[in-house]
C-alpha cells in the first residue's frame, strides 16, 4: 500500500514538473499586467488583442498550414517508404532504416544549417541562369517534411510487422488487383500507424523552431520564429493567450478521443 | 495427513468478478507425477500459479510441509516452476541461466559448476554451457528451463504446459524424458496440460478440472475407464454418450433396446447417461448382436478404421481394425463391463459443462 | 509482393534533402573561402573560446542525461506495472505539452525560477533556503531535463513493458528478491531502451542553442550557440561547418553505440 502511494506520488511529481510551465503560461494569459512577474488581476484583454494582431495571426496561419501540408506529404511519402523498406532484403533494409533515422537522430542545428547551405547554394546556382530563388515558405516546408518522415516510417513499420501477409494474398486470390488489395485490405489494417504518424508529424512541425529558424529566410515567420524574434523586447502576452487556446483545444480533443466509449470496447476485446 | 506434501484448502480465486476457482480442496503427496488436466479456463493454470506464489487466493490456505505458505512470495518458496514459453533469460548464456538460482542463494562456485554439469547431463545437453538461449531450438530451450529449475533441488517442480509449443514428435519424446527425470530426481512433478494424451501417458494421478471445479481425481486407468461424469468421459478420449434409462440394476435401455451392464444402485427407471468407448463397440453380422444398424460414415485412421453406425436412433462412433463399408448392415454388441452408467447432470450449470466441450 | 518502385520517391527525397545537405557541411567544413582544402575549420575547435563552449556543452549534456535517466527509469517501471501504461495515457501525457510552444514552455521556467519568481516566493514564504538559478548553467541543465525527459521515458518504458512477465516470474521463482530481479534481469533486458534514451537526450542537449539562450541569459555560450552565431551573424560558414563536423563526430559516436544495442525495441515510438 505504501509502495503504491509512493509510486503515485512520484508519478504526480513528474507530471507536475512537465505541466508546471504550461500552467504558468495559462495563468499569465489572463494576467492584466504586462510584466510576467506581477499579477495584475484577471483580464481577457490579451485574447481580445490577439485577434487584432496581424503579425501573430499571419504566423499562426503559416504554422498551421505548414504543419498540415508537411504532415500530409510526409505521411504519403513515409507510408510508401515503410512498405517498400519492409519488403527489402535484410541488408538493404538496414541501410535504408539508417537513412530514415538520420533526421531524427541528427542534431537539429546540423540538419538546419545543412538545409541552409543547400538552399543558398541552389539559389546561387539558379541565379547564374537568371532564376530567382530564395528561402521562404517552400524551403521551410521541405525541411519539415524531411524531419517528419522518420516519425511516419517508424509509426507505420510496426503495423506492417503485425500485418498478416496471407490477408493480402487472399485478396489477390479472390480476384482483387494489387491496388485494390492495398487500398481495401492493407491500408485499413495499417491505418492506426498511418494516423499516428500523421498526428505526430503535425505536432512535431507545429513545435519546431530550430530548423525553421535556419531555412525561413526573410519571410515566412512561424509562431516559434516570431516568439524568438520578440525575445529581446519581451514576449507579447497575446502569445500566451494564443498558446492557451491551442493547448486547451487539443487537450479537449484528445480527452474526448480517449474517453469515447468506442475505444473502451476495443480495449476490452483486446484482453 | 502426515504424508501430504501440499495441501490446498478451500481455495477461491476471483478475477473481474468471475470465480476461476471455487472452494477447491486438493492435496499432493511426495514423489508423484500429478497432472492438472482440463480445457482452457478451467482453473488449472491458476492453481499452479497459486502454488508457485504468483497469485494469492482470495480465500483458503496453501499448506506446504505443514507450513502455511499462502502469503509467501515466490522467492521464499522451495518450489520451482517451468514456464510455458520457457522464460529463459535471453541476456545470459545457458550456464548463467542455470546458475541464476544457485548464485542468488550464495552457493560456492565449485558447487555451482558441478550442478550445471549435472543438470545439463540430466537434460541431455552436455557442453551447451556457453550457448545463448536464442541459438537453441524450442525443445532445447525447454530442457534448459527444466535444468534451471531443478538445480535448486526443489521438493516440487511445477510445469505449466511445458510441451505446448513443441511439435508432436518432440512432444512424445519429451514425455518419456520427463518421466525419466522425475524418477531420477525423486521429487514431485505437478504438471498442467489440456492434452489428455500427455496426461494419460505420464501421470501417476490425474486431476480433471472444469470451470473451477475438480471433476475427478484418479489414476489414468480410472479416469479413462470409469469417468464419473459426461464431461470427463467426453474430455478424455472419444466417447459415445447416449441418454438412457436405468430399468433396474444391471439393465439399461438406450432408445428401445435393452443392454445388460454391471452397474447397480441407480434405482428403477431413472434417466441416466450411458458412456461407451468407440473401441468397445463390436460389430458383427446383422442379427448376431444386441441391435442392428447401418454404417453411415467410414474413414481410415492409420491404426484403425473409424465408422459411424446408425442404430437405436443414435450415431455410434466405432473404432475397429476391420473395415465395414458405408451402407453395410451390421449388428452392435457391447460387453456389459464396457458400459459405463452415469447420473444425469442435475442443474443447468452442469449441463452447460457438457455443452461447452 | 510490392513493387520496388514504391521506394523511389522516398529514396530520391532522402538523397536530395538528407544526404546531399550533409555533404554540403562536409564540403564547407573542409574548404576555405577560395574553395581550397583545409583543416583549419576543424582546428577552430581548439581556440580557447570554442573548446570552452564544447567542454561546457559536454558537461551540461552529460549531467542532464544522467538526471533524465535517474528520473525516467523509476517512472518507466511504475508505468509498465500500472494500468495507466496500457492505454494511450503515456503518449497523451508526453505529446500534449508539445502543443504549447516549445520556446514558451521553456521560457515559462524563467517566470518560475527567477529571483522573486513563483518558486522563489514560495520558498521565501515557507522559510526554505533561497536559490539563484536563473542565468546559470544549472538553469540550462534544468531546461534540458525538462525538454528532453520524455525522450528518455518512452524508449525505456517501451522495452520494459515488452519484457515477458514470466521471465520476471522465473527470476522470483528461482529465489531472487525484487531488487535482485531488477538489477539482474529487468535492467539488463531494458538496456536497448536505456541506450536509445541516452542518445535521444544526449544529442539534443549537446547541440542546443535555444535552451542556453532562453535560460542562460545570453551570457553562457554552448557549442550550439557558437555555431548558430557563425551562421546567423554571418561570421564564417566555413568555420561553422567545421565546428558542426566536430559536433557530428560526437553524434556519430553515440549513434554507433546505440545501434550496437538497437534491435528495434528501443524505438521512441
Does residue C32 lie in a domain region? no
Residue C114 has pLDDT above 50, yes or no: yes
Query: For domain B4-225, is the CATH number 3.10.450.50?
Result: no
Whether chain A has a CB inside 8 Å of the CB on C10: the answer is: yes
DSSP string, A160-228: HHHS-HHHHHHHHHTT--HHHHIIIIIHHHHHHHHHHHHHHHHHHHHH--HHHHHH--SS---HHHHHH
When CB atoms are compared, the residue of A110, A210, A243 closest to C101 is A243
Closest CA–CA distance from residue B36 to any residue of chain C (Å): 20
Is B4-225's fold the same as B241-356's?
no
| C-beta atoms of A109 and C224 within 8 A | yes
Q: How confident is the model at residue B307 (pLDDT cuts 50, 70, 90)?
A: very high
pLDDT in tens, C153-198: 989 998 998 898 899 999 999 999 989 999 999 999 999 899 989 9
pLDDT in tens, B26-43: 988 888 899 999 988 889
Kindly give, in sequence order, each residue whose CB lies less than 8 Å from that of residue A25, ignoring residues fewer than 6 positions away: A240, A243, A244, C100, C104, C105, C108
Asked if A209 and C214 touch (Cβ cutoff 8 Å), the reply is no
Closest CA–CA distance from residue A130 to any residue of chain C (Å): 22
Rounded to an integer, what distance in angstroms lies between the CA atom of residue C204 and that of residue C200?
7
> How many other β-carbons are positioned within 10 Å of the β-carbon of residue B70?
17
- Interval B178-206 mean pLDDT: 92
Residue B256 has pLDDT above 70, yes or no: yes
Greatest C-alpha distance within chain A? 75
Structural domain for C184, as ranges: 48-228
| C-beta atoms of B75 and C173 within 8 A | yes
**Residue closest to C17 by CA, chosen among A74, A90, A224:** A74
Closest CA–CA distance from residue C77 to any residue of chain A (Å): 10
Rounded to an integer, what distance in angstroms lies between the CA atom of residue A110 and that of residue B346?
78
State the Cα angle at B160 between B239 and B357, rounded to 5°: 25
**C-contacting residues of A 46-105, CB under 8 Å?**
77-78, 80-81, 83-85, 87-88, 96, 98-100, 102-103, 105
Rounded to an integer, what distance in angstroms lies between the CA atom of residue B314 and that of residue B241?
10
DSSP string, B272-292: EEEEE-GGGEEEESTTSSSEE
Domains observed in chain A: 1-45+241-257 (no CATH), 55-221 (1.10.3720.10)
Q: Residue B89 has what pLDDT?
A: 93
Does residue C152 lie in a domain region? yes
> How many other β-carbons are positioned within 10 Å of the β-carbon of residue C1?
12
Rounded to an integer, what distance in angstroms lies between the CA atom of residue A237 and that of residue A127?
42
Confirm whether pTM is higher than 0.95. Answer: no
Does residue C87 lie in a domain region? yes
Q: Specify the range with the lowest mean pLDDT, choosing from A159-168, B257-266, B281-290, C134-143.
A: A159-168
Residues of chain B in contact with residue C180, where contact means CB-CB under 8 angstroms, are 104
Scan for cell 509562431, then name that residue.
A223
B36: three-class secondary structure by DSSP: strand
State the Cα angle at A170 between A167 and A174, rounded to 5°: 140
Residues of chain C in contact with residue A168, where contact means CB-CB under 8 angstroms, are 1
Asked if B279 and B225 touch (Cβ cutoff 8 Å), the reply is no
Kindly give, in sequence order, each residue whose CB lies less than 8 Å from that of residue B213, ignoring residues fewer than 6 positions away: B22, B24, B43
When CB atoms are compared, the residue of A81, A118, A206 closest to C99 is A206
SS3 content of chain A, % helix, strand, coil (to 5): 80, 0, 20
**Cell numbers placing B276:** 461407451
B·C CB contacts under 8 A: 66
| β-bridge pairing B188-193 and B156-160 | parallel
DSSP character at residue C222:
P
Rounded to an integer, what distance in angstroms lies between the CA atom of residue C148 and that of residue C196?
13
> How many other β-carbons are positioned within 10 Å of the β-carbon of residue A254?
17
**Residue closest to B317 by CA, chosen among B356, B277, B290:** B277
Rounded to an integer, what distance in angstroms lies between the CA atom of residue B311 and that of residue B291?
7
Q: Residue B345 has what pLDDT?
A: 63
Asked if A145 and A138 touch (Cβ cutoff 8 Å), the reply is no
Q: The sheet that has B188-193: what strands, in order across it?
A: B79-82, B156-160, B188-193, B33-37, B205-210, B213-218
User: Is the complex ipTM higher than 0.90?
Assistant: no
B212: three-class secondary structure by DSSP: coil
Q: Specify the range with the lowest mean pLDDT, choosing from A91-105, C117-131, C255-269.
A: C255-269
Q: Residue C243 has what pLDDT?
A: 93
Residue C87 has pLDDT above 70, yes or no: no
Whether chain B has a CB inside 8 Å of the CB on C121: the answer is: no
> How many other β-carbons are positioned within 10 Å of the β-carbon of residue B288?
13
Exposed/middle/buried for A151, CB within 10 Å: 0-12, 13-18, 19+?
buried
Q: Specify the range with the lowest mean pLDDT, choosing from A58-62, B184-188, B321-325, C90-94.
A: C90-94
Whether chain A has a CB inside 8 Å of the CB on C86: the answer is: yes
Phi-psi map region of B65: left, alpha, beta (phi>0 left; psi -120 to 50 alpha):
left
Instruction: Name the closest residue on chain B to residue C177, using Cα atoms.
Output: B75
Q: Residue B352 has what pLDDT?
A: 38
Q: Specify the range with the lowest mean pLDDT, choosing from A31-40, B15-24, B83-92.
A: A31-40
Instruction: Name the closest residue on chain B to residue C170, using Cα atoms.
Output: B87
Q: Residue C265 has what pLDDT?
A: 46
DSSP string, A16-31: HHHHHHHHHHHHHHTB
Total structural domains within chain C: 1
Rounded to an integer, what distance in angstroms lies between the CA atom of residue A178 and that of residue A161?
19
pLDDT in tens, B111-142: 999 999 999 999 999 999 999 999 999 889 99
List C-alpha distances in Å: C226 to B218, C43, C117, C208, C248. 82, 14, 30, 10, 15
Does residue C65 lie in a domain region? yes
B243: three-class secondary structure by DSSP: strand
Backbone angles phi, psi at C170, to 5 degrees: -60, -40
- Ordered by start, the domain boundaries in chain B are 4-225, 241-356
- Interval B42-63 mean pLDDT: 92
Does residue C240 lie in a domain region? no
| β-bridge pairing B251-254 and B240-248 | antiparallel
CATH topology of domain B241-356: OB fold (Dihydrolipoamide Acetyltransferase, E2P) (2.40.50)
* Run means of pLDDT, 10 residues per run, chain A, 271 residues: 87 92 90 75 88 90 95 95 88 87 89 94 90 90 95 92 82 81 87 92 92 87 90 84 90 77 44 34
Q: Mark C9-45 as b/e (b = at least 16 C-beta within 10 Å).
A: ebeebbeebbeebbebbeebbbbeeeeeebeebbebb
Scan for cell 472419444, then name that residue.
B238
Does residue C256 lie in a domain region? no
DSSP string, C53-79: HHHHHHHHHHHHHHHHHHHHHHHHHHH
Amino acid at each position: 500500500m505504501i509502495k503504491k502511494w509512493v509510486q503515485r506520488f512520484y508519478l504526480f511529481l513528474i507530471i507536475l514538473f512537465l505541466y508546471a510551465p504550461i500552467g504558468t503560461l495559462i495563468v499569465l494569459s489572463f494576467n492584466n499586467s504586462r510584466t510576467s512577474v506581477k499579477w495584475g488581476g484577471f483580464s481577457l484583454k490579451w485574447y481580445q488583442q490577439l485577434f487584432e494582431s496581424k503579425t501573430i495571426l499571419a504566423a499562426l496561419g503559416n504554422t498551421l498550414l505548414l504543419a498540415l501540408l508537411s504532415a500530409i506529404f510526409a505521411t504519403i511519402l513515409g507510408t510508401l517508404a515503410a512498405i517498400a523498406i519492409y519488403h527489402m532484403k535484410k541488408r538493404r533494409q538496414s541501410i535504408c532504416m539508417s537513412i530514415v533515422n538520420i533526421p531524427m537522430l541528427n542534431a537539429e542545428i546540423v540538419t538546419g544549417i545543412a538545409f541552409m547551405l543547400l538552399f543558398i547554394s541552389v539559389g546561387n546556382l539558379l541565379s547564374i541562369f537568371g532564376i530567382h530563388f530564395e528561402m521562404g515558405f517552400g524551403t521551410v516546408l521541405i525541411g519539415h517534411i524531411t524531419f517528419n518522415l522518420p516519425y511516419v516510417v517508424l509509426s507505420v513499420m510496426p503495423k506492417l510487422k503485425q500485418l498478416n501477409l496471407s490477408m493480402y494474398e487472399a485478396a489477390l486470390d479472390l480476384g482483387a488487383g494489387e491496388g485494390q488489395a492495398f487500398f481495401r485490405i492493407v491500408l485499413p489494417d495499417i491505418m492506426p500507424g498511418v494516423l499516428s504518424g500523421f498526428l505526430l508529424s503535425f505536432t512535431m512541425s507545429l513545435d519546431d523552431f530550430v530548423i525553421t529558424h535556419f531555412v525561413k529566410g526573410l519571410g515566412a515567420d512561424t509562431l516559434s520564429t516570431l516568439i524568438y524574434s520578440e525575445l529581446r523586447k519581451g514576449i507579447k502576452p497575446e502569445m500566451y493567450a494564443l498558446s492557451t487556446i491551442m493547448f486547451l483545444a487539443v487537450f479537449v480533443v484528445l480527452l474526448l478521443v480517449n474517453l469515447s466509449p468506442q475505444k473502451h470496447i476495443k480495449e476490452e476485446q483486446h484482453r | 495427513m502426515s504424508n501430504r506434501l501440499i495441501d490446498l484448502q478451500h481455495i477461491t480465486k476471483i478475477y473481474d468478478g468471475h470465480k476461476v476457482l471455487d472452494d477447491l480442496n486438493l492435496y499432493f503427496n511426495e514423489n508423484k507425477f500429478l497432472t492438472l488436466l482440463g480445457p482452457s479456463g478451467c482453473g488449472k493454470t491458476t492453481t499452479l500459479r497459486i502454488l508457485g506464489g504468483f497469485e494469492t487466493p482470495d480465500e483458503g490456505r496453501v499448506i506446504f510441509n505443514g507450513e502455511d505458505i499462502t502469503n509467501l512470495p515466490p522467492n521464499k518458496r522451495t518450489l520451482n516452476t517451468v514456464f510455458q514459453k520457457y522464460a529463459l533469460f535471453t541476456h545470459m548464456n545457458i550456464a548463467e541461466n542455470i546458475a541464476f538460482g544457485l548464485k542468488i542463494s550464495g552457493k560456492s562456485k565449485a558447487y555451482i559448476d558441478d550442478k550445471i554439469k549435472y543438470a545439463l547431463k540430466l537434460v541431455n545437453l552436455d557442453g551447451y554451457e556457453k550457448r545463448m538461449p536464442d541459438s537453441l531450438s524450442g525443445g532445447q530451450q525447454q530442457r534448459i528451463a527444466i535444468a534451471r529449475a531443478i538445480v535448486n533441488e526443489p521438493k516440487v517442480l511445477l510445469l505449466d504446459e511445458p510441451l505446448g509449443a513443441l511439435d508432436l514428435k518432440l512432444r512424445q519424446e519429451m514425455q518419456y524424458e520427463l518421466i525419466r527425470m522425475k524418477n531420477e530426481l525423486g521429487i514431485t512433478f505437478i504438471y498442467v496440460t489440456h492434452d489428455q494424451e500427455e496426461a494419460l501417458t505420464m501421470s501417476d494421478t490425474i486431476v480433471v478440472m472444469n470451470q473451477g471445479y475438480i471433476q475427478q481425481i484418479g489414476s489414468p486407468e480410472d479416469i479413462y475407464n470409469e469417468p464419473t461424469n459426461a464431461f470427463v468421459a467426453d474430455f478424455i478420449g472419444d466417447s459415445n454418450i447416449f441418454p438412457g434409462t436405468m430399468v433396474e440394476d444391471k439393465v439399461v435401455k438406450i432408445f428401445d433396446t435393452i443392454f445388460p451392464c454391471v452397474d447397480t444402485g441407480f434405482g428403477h427407471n431413472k434417466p441416466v447417461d450411458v458412456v461407451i468407448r468407440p473401441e468397445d463397440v463390436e460389430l458383427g453380422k446383422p442379427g448376431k448382436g444386441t441391435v442392428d444398424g447401418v454404417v453411415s460414415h467410414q474413414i481410415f485412421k492409420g491404426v484403425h478404421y473409424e465408422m459411424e453406425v446408425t442404430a437405436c436412433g443414435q450415431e455410434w462412433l466405432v473404432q475397429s481394425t476391420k473395415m465395414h463399408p458405408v451402407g453395410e448392415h451390421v449388428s452392435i454388441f457391447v460387453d456389459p463391463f464396457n458400459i459405463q452408467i452415469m447420473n444425469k447432470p442435475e442443474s443447468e450449470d452442469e449441463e452447460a459443462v457438457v455443452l461447452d466441450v | 509482393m510490392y513493387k520496388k518502385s514504391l521506394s523511389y520517391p522516398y529514396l530520391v527525397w532522402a538523397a536530395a534533402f538528407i544526404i546531399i545537405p550533409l555533404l554540403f557541411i562536409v564540403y564547407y567544413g573542409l574548404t576555405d573561402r577560395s574553395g581550397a582544402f583545409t583543416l583549419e575549420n576543424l582546428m577552430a575547435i581548439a581556440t580557447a573560446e570554442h573548446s570552452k563552449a564544447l567542454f561546457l556543452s559536454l558537461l551540461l549534456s552529460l549531467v542532464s542525461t544522467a538526471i533524465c535517466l535517474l528520473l525516467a527509469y523509476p517512472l518507466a517501471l511504475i508505468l509498465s506495472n500500472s494500468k495507466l501504461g496500457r492505454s494511450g495515457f503515456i503518449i497523451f501525457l508526453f505529446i500534449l505539452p508539445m502543443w504549447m510552444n516549445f520556446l514558451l514552455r521553456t521560457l515559462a521556467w524563467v517566470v518560475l525560477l527567477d529571483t522573486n519568481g513563483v518558486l522563489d516566493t514560495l520558498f521565501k514564504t515557507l522559510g526554505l533556503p533561497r536559490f539563484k538559478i536563473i542565468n546559470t548553467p544549472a538553469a540550462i541543465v534544468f531546461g534540458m531535463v525538462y525538454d528532453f525527459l520524455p525522450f528518455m521515458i518512452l524508449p525505456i518504458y517501451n522495452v520494459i513493458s515488452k519484457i515477458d512477465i514470466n521471465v520476471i516470474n522465473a527470476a522470483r521463482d528461482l529465489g531472487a528478491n525484487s531488487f535482485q530481479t531488477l538489477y539482474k534481469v529487468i535492467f539488463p533486458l531494458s538496456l536497448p531502451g536505456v541506450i536509445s534514451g541516452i542518445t535521444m537526450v544526449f544529442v539534443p542537449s549537446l547541440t542546443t542553442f535555444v535552451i542556453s539562450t532562453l535560460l542562460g541569459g545570453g551570457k553562457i555560450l554552448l557549442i550550439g550557440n557558437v555555431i548558430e552565431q557563425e551562421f546567423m551573424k554571418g561570421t564564417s560558414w566555413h568555420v561553422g561547418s567545421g565546428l558542426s563536423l566536430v559536433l557530428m563526430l560526437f553524434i556519430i559516436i553515440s549513434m554507433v553505440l546505440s545501434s550496437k544495442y538497437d534491435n528495434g525495441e528501443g524505438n521512441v515510438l
